[in-house]
Amino acid sequence: MSRFCLIFFIFLASHSAFSTPLDELDKTCLTQKYHNYVKASIDWYDALIQIAVKEDPRLENVGYWFLKGRQNHFKLNDAVFNERLKNAPNSLNLHSGIESWLNLTQEEVKELSQSHSKLAPPARKVFNFRQDETHKDSYALRAALANLLKSPQKMDAPLRHYNQQIEKLSHTHCKKAI
């Protein structure tokens, strides 16, 4: 129940924090806040994979493969967020929770991967990963992760750390100094 309350509080705080007009927000702060969200998310996936591999060392290869895919996904999102904040800030959903600030569709990833922009190389990594065949052991990894979700005590420390990071971000307000 307490975790639900924490998540609900973060949801409310993140939704009310950005009712501020875009021109009154500090873009450097927004960039850092989103970067910290990306880092917390990558760290969360890394911790999950470490736990899964510790329980079953045969998952090391597929775990690394999966983690690399998540890292590339979040790093692309970070780069696209920065680009849009600079050039098309109204395309961002800053009035919602940080996990929803950027909505990057598969079609957009494909278009970026075929472009000549600086976003093309990271977009290509993400697009190709999504289009490639899945790893031969991906089902075993999914099963291991599902088992972890059934045993929350095994994930308690990384989950607590992730929740603390997200809660800290929810208290970061990016209004320009007057």
Question: What number of other Cβ atoms are within 10 A of residue 172's Cβ?
Answer: 15
Q: Are 65 and 3 in contact (CB under 8 A)?
A: no
Residue 108 domain-assigned (yes or no): yes
Identity of the residue numbered 62: V
Identity of the residue numbered 83: E
Q: Total domain count for the chain?
A: 1
Domain that holds residue 55: 2-170
pTM of the model: 0.85
Q: What is the CA radius of gyration of the chain?
A: 18
Residue 176 domain-assigned (yes or no): no
Per-residue pLDDT of the chain (178 residues; tens, 9 = 90+): 555 444 544 554 444 444 567 878 999 999 999 999 999 999 999 999 999 999 999 999 999 999 999 999 999 999 999 999 999 999 999 989 999 999 999 999 999 999 999 999 999 999 999 999 999 999 999 999 999 988 889 889 999 999 999 999 999 999 887 6
Q: DSSP readout, 146-172?
A: HHHHH-HHHHHHHHHHHHHHHHHHHT-
Residue 138 domain-assigned (yes or no): yes
Quote the CA–CA distance of 56 and 144 in Å, as a whole number: 8
